[in-house]
Amino acid sequence: MWTEGYMPVQMLIHLTVMMAVYVGANYFLKKIGKGIPAFPQAILIWLGTYSYFKFAVAPPLPSTLLYTFMGLVTIVIFLFISSTEQGWTDFKRPILGTLMAVNPMYKGVRTFSFVVLPLLIGYGTYDFNVPKFDEPIDLRTVHPAPPASTTVRGQNFTLQTAQNPYRVEDNGEYMEPGHEKKYFKSNVFEPNAPKYLQYVKEGGSIFFQNCHFCHGDNLNGRGMFAFAFVPIPANFVDPGTLAQLQETFVFWRIAKGGPGLPTESAPWASAMPPWEEHLTTDEIWKVSMFEYWHTEFFPRTWE
């Protein structure tokens, strides 16, 4: 059902197919004179969407997001049925029918719901109040704001303006982010590879000597030690990490690691080591360049 790399689009396609099935089924049932009334229709749409988000989406959605989605769906269903007077009247009919017990069946439903609803609400209240021992929801800031400048191994870097000294064209000029595209998928082991690729190769060795235990040999955050840590190491393949960050941000994160996280990153749980204690600034620049090259993302720029 899910193919890596296409998943977000797949989800939207699934939803579209579900919509098409709903419209088609409705049309067909109406054709053969067995149209479903508005009220059960609304319930069916709700349950259908809920089952999809709850059971078909894997890995599961975080509960906060599931609730948000379902809240949205609930509102939209309400908007849908009440956007025409006809739909609104149809929808209200069984509710009013139940409340007023217009026939024996509704009377039965009313008696049933007058018993069951209070019980359900009672249970809900109990469940809400009973002490729970789940871990609390974590409002962690994954990408905290970097400082204006940082000192690494006695050298001061202004993060707004610093540049990776190894990001160079063959003639030694600084290579603007985006221009490295021509080197993607090239062979870094070529003896007379361009300068940029040689630095990438050096960065690669640094990565495989130091980082892949955690960040994984595919850079997807699934290294052999990864699951020993909470949070698990960053997944560089995801467009939400490297591609969102300026190169200087990555430099700063590598240099300072978990211990160097700023105040807002409470509870500073990251196991990322402060690499300034083991690598030189040059090595840090190179390894960050390797990470970008390997994942084929470009550092963020703002011009």
Question: How would DSSP label each residue in 149-206?
Answer: EEEETTEEEETTT---TT-B-TTSPBPPTTGGGGGTT--TT-TT--HHHHHHHHHHHH
Binding to ligand HEC in span 263-282, by CB under 6 A:
270-273, 275
**How far apart are alpha carbons 254 and 249 in whole angstroms?**
9
210 interacts with, out of other proteins, ligand HEC, none, CB within 5 to 8 A per kind: ligand HEC
> Binding to other proteins by residue 154, rule CB under 8 A?
no
Stretch that binds ligand HEC, among 122-130, 160-168, 188-196, 225-233 (CB under 6 A): 225-233
253 interacts with, out of ligand HEC, other proteins, none, CB within 5 to 8 A per kind: ligand HEC
And the tokens for 211? 């980082």
> Binding to other proteins by residue 1, rule CB under 8 A?
no
Please say whether the dihedral angle defined by the alpha carbons of residues 227, 229, 232 and 234, taken in this order, is positive or negative.
Answer: negative
Q: Which is nearer to ligand HEC, 102 or 271 (CB)?
A: 271
> Binding to ligand HEC by residue 250, rule CB under 6 A?
yes
Beta carbon of residue 233, minimum distance to other proteins (angstroms, whole number): 8
Stretch that binds ligand HEC, among 65-73, 95-103, 122-130, 249-257 (CB under 6 A): 249-257
DSSP designation for 228: G
Q: Which is nearer to other proteins, 202 or 219 (CB)?
A: 219
Burial class (CB in 10 A: 0-12, 13-18, 19+), 39: middle
> Binding to ligand HEC by residue 70, rule CB under 6 A?
no
Q: How many residues bind ligand HEC (CB under 6 A)?
A: 22
Q: Are 200 and 188 in contact (CB under 8 A)?
A: yes
> Binding to other proteins by residue 221, rule CB under 8 A?
yes
Q: Which residues contact 81 (CB under 8 A, 6 or more apart)?
A: 38, 42, 87, 88, 90, 91
And the tokens for 96? 């009013």
Q: Which is nearer to ligand HEC, 39 or 213 (CB)?
A: 213
Binding to other proteins in span 90-109, by CB under 8 A:
none
Q: Which residues contact 163 (CB under 8 A, 6 or more apart)?
A: 174, 247
Question: How would DSSP label each residue in 102-122?
Answer: -SHHHHHHHHHHHHHHHHHHH
> Binding to other proteins by residue 234, rule CB under 8 A?
yes
**Mapping DSSP to helix (H, G, I), strand (E, B) and coil, where does residue 24 land?**
helix
Total residue count of the chain as it appears in this document? 303
Among 253, 256, 286, 294, binds ligand HEC (CB under 6 A): 253
> Binding to other proteins by residue 40, rule CB under 8 A?
no
Beta carbon of residue 184, minimum distance to other proteins (angstroms, whole number): 11
270 interacts with, out of other proteins, ligand HEC, none, CB within 5 to 8 A per kind: ligand HEC
Binding site for ligand HEC (CB under 6 A): 142-143, 210-211, 213-215, 225, 229, 231, 233-234, 241, 250, 253-254, 270-273, 275, 287
